[in-house]
Structure 1
């Protein structure tokens, strides 16, 4: 019987969680930067669609 992988996870859950959280935060920051760059395009599209709906 070798060492159980669950034991490794239990010994350092905080470290793995911190790594995952940091990765998620980086992904969110990247997404926010991308959305900020493309936000004016999306806004113009929404405005155009709204005008079409009004007419």
Structure 2
């Protein structure tokens, strides 16, 4: 599922004129989605070093 999410993000990135950054929302009640979001955020930190990344936990 991580590869699928990353493929979607990359496709959206190439269709975007100027990517400003990423917003990631976490729900601590859903542990599987919480871990997936953290993993995706770590990958974004490596792939998109100079872009803004914001994480919100609800």
Fold shared per TM-score above 0.5: no
Q: TM-score under structure 1 normalisation?
A: 0.35
Select the structure that is richer in strand.
2
Bigger relative contact order, structure 1 or 2 (CA pairs below 8 A, ≥6 apart)? 2
